[in-house]
Amino acid sequence: MRKPETGFINRVNDRLPIMGRAGSRGALTRFAAPLLYEKLNTMYKAGLPDSWYGGRKRDAWVEYKWLPKVTKYGVRPSQYMTAAQMAWLGRQWAAHRLCLAVLGTPQGVLAALPEDFETTFMPGDIDEGQEAQWGYPLTGQFLPLPLFVEKFYLALV
């Protein structure tokens, strides 16, 4: 039986135009540029994120988490990550790579940059300045899965 996190990752990847991936049911076919993708899973390297994606403009390192519910107190990404994961993503972010903690919830998908791992996000939080400031309009708010996938893709190509 696969873990809920694995199902969430598969739902994201099924919607992305990943090179060589069979069965991408709802992939963003209107976009011509496929992404490179590598599932990263090793017990020998602590802190390595779940996935790496390569696009024309940049690459992204992503740590996925599935949360069955969001409490009235919201979510803080650091609650669900190990110190090694946060350190690894922080080092890549310092090297100017796109690094995200992507939390899937029934309320939507939340993507957070390393500098926001300690921030508590509430469903409905929207940071209007995020798109202009970072050029990554996919962070800092809960988005429906299809909208998250499209914004994530556009940040890479």
Which of 15-24, 65-74, 141-150 bottoms out in mean pLDDT, i.e. has the lowest? Answer: 15-24
Helix (H, G, I), strand (E, B) or coil at 96: coil
pLDDT surpassing 50 at residue 134 = no
Q: What is the pTM of this model?
A: 0.85
Cβ count within 10 A of residue 74? 15
Q: How far apart are CA 117 and CA 130, in angstroms?
A: 15
Residues 77/111, Cβ–Cβ less than 8 Å: no
23 sits in the region (left: phi over 0; alpha: psi -120 to 50; else beta) called left
pLDDT surpassing 60 at residue 24 = no
Banded pLDDT at 131 (limits 50, 70, 90): very low
Mean pLDDT of the chain: 83
